[in-house]
Protein backbone atom coordinates (compact mmCIF):
# COMPACT_ATOMS: atom_id res chain seq x y z
CA UNK A 1 0.00 0.00 0.00
CA UNK A 2 1.24 3.48 -0.91
CA UNK A 3 0.59 5.82 1.98
CA UNK A 4 0.79 9.63 1.89
CA UNK A 5 3.12 11.64 4.10
CA UNK A 6 1.62 13.43 7.07
CA UNK A 7 2.23 16.73 5.31
CA UNK A 8 0.27 15.51 2.29
CA UNK A 9 -2.57 14.42 4.56
CA UNK A 10 -2.65 17.71 6.46
CA UNK A 11 -2.67 19.76 3.28
CA UNK A 12 -5.65 17.98 1.73
CA UNK A 13 -8.04 20.37 3.52
CA UNK A 14 -8.05 22.89 6.37
CA UNK A 15 -9.99 20.50 8.63
CA UNK A 16 -9.47 16.83 9.49
CA UNK A 17 -12.76 15.40 10.77
CA UNK A 18 -12.39 13.51 14.04
CA UNK A 19 -15.01 10.77 13.98
CA UNK A 20 -16.37 8.46 16.69
CA UNK A 21 -18.31 5.72 14.91
CA UNK A 22 -20.70 3.65 17.02
CA UNK A 23 -22.75 2.13 14.20
CA UNK A 24 -20.81 0.37 11.46
CA UNK A 25 -23.63 0.93 8.97
CA UNK A 26 -23.06 4.70 9.26
CA UNK A 27 -19.34 4.57 8.44
CA UNK A 28 -19.36 4.53 4.64
CA UNK A 29 -22.19 7.05 4.07
CA UNK A 30 -20.60 9.38 6.64
CA UNK A 31 -17.23 9.17 4.89
CA UNK A 32 -18.86 9.75 1.50
CA UNK A 33 -20.70 12.81 2.81
CA UNK A 34 -17.49 14.33 4.19
CA UNK A 35 -15.51 13.61 1.03
CA UNK A 36 -18.30 15.11 -1.07
CA UNK A 37 -17.85 18.29 0.96
CA UNK A 38 -14.13 18.42 0.26
CA UNK A 39 -12.75 16.81 3.43
CA UNK A 40 -10.73 13.79 2.30
CA UNK A 41 -8.50 13.13 5.33
CA UNK A 42 -10.65 11.34 7.92
CA UNK A 43 -9.62 10.36 11.44
CA UNK A 44 -11.55 7.40 12.87
CA UNK A 45 -10.90 7.21 16.60
CA UNK A 46 -10.30 3.86 18.30
CA UNK A 47 -12.96 4.57 20.91
CA UNK A 48 -15.64 2.10 19.86
CA UNK A 49 -15.76 -1.66 19.20
CA UNK A 50 -16.49 -1.11 15.49
CA UNK A 51 -13.70 1.40 14.80
CA UNK A 52 -11.35 -1.01 13.00
CA UNK A 53 -14.20 -2.46 10.95
CA UNK A 54 -15.24 1.09 10.05
CA UNK A 55 -11.71 1.87 8.84
CA UNK A 56 -11.70 -1.29 6.77
CA UNK A 57 -15.11 -0.53 5.25
CA UNK A 58 -14.24 3.07 4.36
CA UNK A 59 -10.87 2.11 2.93
CA UNK A 60 -12.58 -0.38 0.61
CA UNK A 61 -15.67 1.65 -0.35
CA UNK A 62 -14.45 5.27 -0.42
CA UNK A 63 -11.24 5.34 -2.49
CA UNK A 64 -11.05 9.15 -2.48
CA UNK A 65 -10.70 9.20 1.30
CA UNK A 66 -7.45 9.01 3.23
CA UNK A 67 -8.56 7.00 6.24
CA UNK A 68 -6.58 7.66 9.36
CA UNK A 69 -6.90 6.09 12.78
CA UNK A 70 -6.92 8.15 15.95
CA UNK A 71 -6.44 7.50 19.67
CA UNK A 72 -3.48 5.20 18.99
CA UNK A 73 -1.92 4.38 22.36
CA UNK A 74 -0.23 0.97 22.06
CA UNK A 75 2.03 -0.64 19.45
CA UNK A 76 -0.68 -3.28 18.99
CA UNK A 77 -3.10 -0.49 18.04
CA UNK A 78 -0.74 0.54 15.25
CA UNK A 79 -0.46 -3.00 13.90
CA UNK A 80 -4.24 -3.45 13.91
CA UNK A 81 -4.86 -0.06 12.28
CA UNK A 82 -2.36 -0.68 9.49
CA UNK A 83 -3.87 -4.12 8.85
CA UNK A 84 -7.34 -2.56 8.61
CA UNK A 85 -6.20 -0.23 5.84
CA UNK A 86 -5.46 3.01 7.66
CA UNK A 87 -3.16 5.31 5.71
CA UNK A 88 -2.06 7.47 8.65
CA UNK A 89 -2.14 7.41 12.43
CA UNK A 90 -2.88 9.95 15.14
CA UNK A 91 -2.09 9.65 18.84
CA UNK A 92 -3.08 11.79 21.81
CA UNK A 93 0.50 11.91 23.09
CA UNK A 94 4.14 11.32 22.24
CA UNK A 95 5.49 7.77 22.64
CA UNK A 96 8.74 6.42 21.21
CA UNK A 97 7.43 2.84 21.35
CA UNK A 98 4.39 3.91 19.33
CA UNK A 99 6.56 5.67 16.76
CA UNK A 100 8.82 2.61 16.47
CA UNK A 101 5.77 0.45 15.79
CA UNK A 102 4.50 2.95 13.22
CA UNK A 103 7.84 2.98 11.44
CA UNK A 104 7.86 -0.80 11.33
CA UNK A 105 4.30 -0.85 9.95
CA UNK A 106 5.00 1.93 7.47
CA UNK A 107 2.22 4.06 9.00
CA UNK A 108 2.84 7.84 8.89
CA UNK A 109 2.17 9.33 12.32
CA UNK A 110 0.80 12.56 13.74
CA UNK A 111 1.68 12.32 17.44
CA UNK A 112 0.17 14.60 20.03
CA UNK A 113 2.21 17.11 22.02
CA UNK A 114 1.23 19.56 24.74
CA UNK A 115 4.57 21.07 25.79
CA UNK A 116 7.69 22.50 24.14
CA UNK A 117 9.72 19.59 25.55
CA UNK A 118 7.49 17.05 23.81
CA UNK A 119 7.64 19.07 20.59
CA UNK A 120 11.45 19.15 20.80
CA UNK A 121 11.58 15.38 21.40
CA UNK A 122 9.40 14.84 18.34
CA UNK A 123 11.61 17.15 16.31
CA UNK A 124 14.68 15.15 17.35
CA UNK A 125 12.87 12.10 15.99
CA UNK A 126 12.59 13.87 12.63
CA UNK A 127 8.92 14.80 12.83
CA UNK A 128 7.93 18.23 11.53
CA UNK A 129 4.13 18.22 11.84
CA UNK A 130 2.55 17.48 15.21
CA UNK A 131 -0.88 17.38 16.78
CA UNK A 132 -1.34 20.04 19.50
CA UNK A 133 -3.71 18.37 21.96
CA UNK A 134 -5.94 19.21 23.71
CA UNK A 135 -5.61 22.58 22.02
CA UNK A 136 -8.06 24.80 23.87
CA UNK A 137 -7.35 23.26 27.29
CA UNK A 138 -3.62 23.87 26.76
CA UNK A 139 -3.89 27.56 25.98
CA UNK A 140 -5.01 27.51 22.37
CA UNK A 141 -3.99 30.16 19.88
CA UNK A 142 -1.78 32.22 22.25
CA UNK A 143 0.36 29.17 23.05
CA UNK A 144 0.90 28.23 19.42
CA UNK A 145 1.66 31.85 18.63
CA UNK A 146 4.31 31.86 21.37
CA UNK A 147 5.78 28.62 20.05
CA UNK A 148 6.14 30.06 16.55
CA UNK A 149 9.64 31.50 16.87
CA UNK A 150 10.90 29.22 19.66
CA UNK A 151 9.97 26.06 17.73
CA UNK A 152 10.74 27.35 14.26
CA UNK A 153 10.30 24.71 11.57
CA UNK A 154 7.56 22.80 13.37
CA UNK A 155 3.93 22.93 12.27
CA UNK A 156 0.85 21.85 14.16
CA UNK A 157 -2.64 20.43 13.78
CA UNK A 158 -4.49 21.75 16.85
CA UNK A 159 -7.27 19.41 17.99
CA UNK A 160 -9.53 19.47 21.03
CA UNK A 161 -12.04 22.25 21.52
CA UNK A 162 -11.62 23.48 17.95
CA UNK A 163 -14.85 24.62 16.29
CA UNK A 164 -16.04 26.53 13.26
CA UNK A 165 -15.97 29.65 15.42
CA UNK A 166 -12.31 29.49 16.51
CA UNK A 167 -10.81 27.46 13.64
CA UNK A 168 -10.03 30.61 11.57
CA UNK A 169 -7.91 31.98 14.45
CA UNK A 170 -5.84 28.81 14.49
CA UNK A 171 -5.57 28.59 10.71
CA UNK A 172 -4.31 32.18 10.55
CA UNK A 173 -1.15 31.17 12.45
CA UNK A 174 1.85 30.46 10.21
CA UNK A 175 2.74 27.32 12.18
CA UNK A 176 -0.72 25.74 11.83
CA UNK A 177 -1.20 23.54 8.76
CA UNK A 178 -4.74 22.32 9.54
CA UNK A 179 -7.06 21.69 12.48
CA UNK A 180 -8.85 18.61 13.74
CA UNK A 181 -12.50 18.81 14.73
CA UNK A 182 -15.65 16.82 15.30
CA UNK A 183 -18.16 19.56 14.54
CA UNK A 184 -18.38 18.54 10.87
CA UNK A 185 -19.95 15.19 11.83
CA UNK A 186 -22.43 15.98 14.63
CA UNK A 187 -23.97 12.96 16.34
CA UNK A 188 -27.51 14.20 15.71
CA UNK A 189 -26.98 14.40 11.94
CA UNK A 190 -25.30 10.99 11.84
CA UNK A 191 -28.10 9.41 13.86
CA UNK A 192 -30.67 10.92 11.50
CA UNK A 193 -28.77 9.84 8.36
CA UNK A 194 -28.73 13.50 7.37
CA UNK A 195 -25.77 13.17 5.01
CA UNK A 196 -26.70 16.36 3.10
CA UNK A 197 -26.28 18.37 6.30
CA UNK A 198 -22.87 16.82 6.92
CA UNK A 199 -21.80 17.58 3.34
CA UNK A 200 -22.85 21.21 3.88
CA UNK A 201 -20.78 21.39 7.08
CA UNK A 202 -17.84 19.82 5.26
CA UNK A 203 -18.06 22.35 2.43
CA UNK A 204 -18.12 25.16 4.99
CA UNK A 205 -15.04 23.71 6.70
CA UNK A 206 -13.15 23.07 3.47
CA UNK A 207 -13.63 26.71 2.51
CA UNK A 208 -11.71 27.94 5.56
CA UNK A 209 -8.40 29.56 4.69
CA UNK A 210 -5.03 28.18 5.71
Residues tagged active-site: 43, 131
The C-alpha atoms of residue 99 and residue 94 are separated, in whole angstroms, by 8
Task: Report whether 202 contacts 39 (CB < 8 A).
Answer: yes
Non-local (6+) Cβ contacts of 149 within 8 A are none
Q: Is there a contact between 70 and 90 (Cβ–Cβ < 8 Å)?
A: yes
- Of 52, 17, 69, which is closest to residue 38 (Cα–Cα)? 17
Q: How many CB atoms lie within 10 A of CB 47?
A: 12
Which of 55, 116, 61, 120 is closest to 90 using CA atoms? Answer: 55
HSE of 110, CA atoms in CB hemisphere, 13 A:
34
Amino acid sequence: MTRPTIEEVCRLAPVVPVMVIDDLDKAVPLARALVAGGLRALEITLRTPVALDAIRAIAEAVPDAEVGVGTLRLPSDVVAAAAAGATFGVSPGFSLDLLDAADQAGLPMLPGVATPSEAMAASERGLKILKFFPAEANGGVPVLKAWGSALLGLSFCPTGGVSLKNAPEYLALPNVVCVGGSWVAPKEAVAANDWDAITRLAKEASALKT
